[in-house]
Structure 1
Amino acid sequence: MDVLAGLLDGPRARGAFLLRMVMEPPWSVRIEDRAPLCLMCVTRGEAWIVPDGGGDPVLLRPGDVAIARGPEPYLTADSPGTAPRALIGPGGVCRTLEGEPLAQSMHLGVRTWGNAPDGGTTVLIGTYQMDGEVSRRLLDALPPLLHLPADAWNCPLMPVLDDEISRDEPGQSVVLDRVLDLMLIAVLRTWFARPGAAAPGWYRAMADPAVGNALRLLQNEPARPWTVASLAIACGVSRAGLARRFTELVGEPPMAYLTGWRLALAGDLLRGTDATVESVARKVGYSGSFALSAAFKRVRGVSPQEYRSGALPVGS
């Protein structure tokens, strides 16, 4: 498993919120669902995305795709100047700005919603709900709003999603989740591989034979008692050479990267399972609960038990 695969293993869609939005101008929807990540594709017409906080509006045309990284709100509209007429809150609940429900009045069929059945604009929307340390490492590498025009990426999955999203057949939610996952992977690979892209260090480093191999080893076997020397031997390079090259490409030394990865895995296990701190520690590469607690307090500012209970680090 490479680094991107490892990070994407966390935010896999499970019962993701998927919708086909069909609109006729004038229209504008304010999104306040606080979803960590939302993927949007235009299949017909045009749609603007207007971030809060002064970000530049982005125009989506047919074949374009965008990813909005929450939890900041934003508008989708026929024009940046159109005032919002509906609001999407947490859980996909839709209402007017005065609080009146719109779910029934704008229902147009299976996973289809809008103000006109034959509206001139169609947008496919897939929303991920992810909450974890591993997922956060991926989200932190993305801009608040990512946009790929149709001519910048080559993915045959948009018509598949368009065809499947309104079906109501056995196992359909799983089909949609997997198609959405594949689209997300295709978008991220294209985004990070763009000429001049400010891709994170761990992504760029995967192309380096020695450092890429080291990253895969740390990613796949975090519980192994790694040292820079043992990692260098496994990669067939010198210790000094690996340490220098790894730090240069990834932006931090190998053992610092390993600590961050181990604690991210531990954080997700602590909040996502009922495993004991001792078993979590051994699973991610620490000798026991005391060693994990020391690392957790040093890096996160709280103990594993405090983190599990929802406590925030000092200063958060």
Structure 2
Amino acid sequence: MFAVYAAEPKPDDPLAALVVGERPEPSAPEGWVPVRVRAASLNMHDLWTLRGVGIKPERFPMTLGCDGAGTLPDGTEVVIHSVVGDPDWTGEETLDPKRTLLTELHQGTFADVVVVPRRNALPKPASLSFAEAACTGTAWLTAYRMLFVNSGLRPGQTMLVQGASGGVATALVQLGRSAGFRVWATGRSEAKRALAEELGAHRTFEPGARLPERVDAVFETVGRATWSHSVKCLRPGGTIVVSGATTGDATAAELQRVFFLQLRVVGSTMGTRQELADLLSFLDLTGLRPRIGSELPMERAAEGVRAMLDGETAGKIVFTRD
């Protein structure tokens, strides 16, 4: 079958690991289902896979793609939940120590067919296109959990999104505006700030800029480049929700400010199956739709990966299959 995969880890040149070609079609073990992929979206996680981060060398070649939407053999339209957990785990899904994402242990969605546990194939709302639905399983689910589960914000309060041009950040802007928060965002360029405003940000700022007032919560996916600014922007008792660090770990934790102002730092990772179901329902009810920055045939996956490597994103990058 057709697939886009990482042939081997290439830490310094991830594009050199990318292959657009053929892979064996997978068989579905008991309790799993095959999904014929109609659309799949690109995530930073795919770049890490190409670099060999979070995946053992013996797992290569590995088909890329955490997110996707498609059809079951009976024609049912589904959205894929990419977190594969231990079937014996009974606690909160995101705390399962044996959980994995697609592309870490199991082959991913950049292919004609992907197999997933039956519970990981959720009904797709008819109102969402396959491309829109394919954006929800990682970036939008991460943003949904950050905002509605872990931030403690109430509608009417002020949130700051750092680096608002990538998938998680643009989702936070859209979700925040739709849910009644005052949304501020930072962006490295005038174009990125204009995008954030187009998506619903009430105000935008250059990175590190002094804000008109302190905010109730900051949403961090950037890390080292923005951490100090995030801490200084918070009101006493405010919250930073962290789901990533694309520029690396912070060089200083700013602990004096954290304890003196009683700030909360909350880690947030992906989301549960039920949270994805709630997100899909939220999009269906509100008419809100993920911002797709570019939509390409899966055969042109290298173009999308290059754009993400270069930081030239304006929403989600989606690959489609007929």
TM-score normalised by the chain length of structure 1: 0.27
Higher strand share: 2
TM-score normalised by the chain length of structure 2: 0.26
Higher helix share: 1
The structure that has the greater radius of gyration is 1
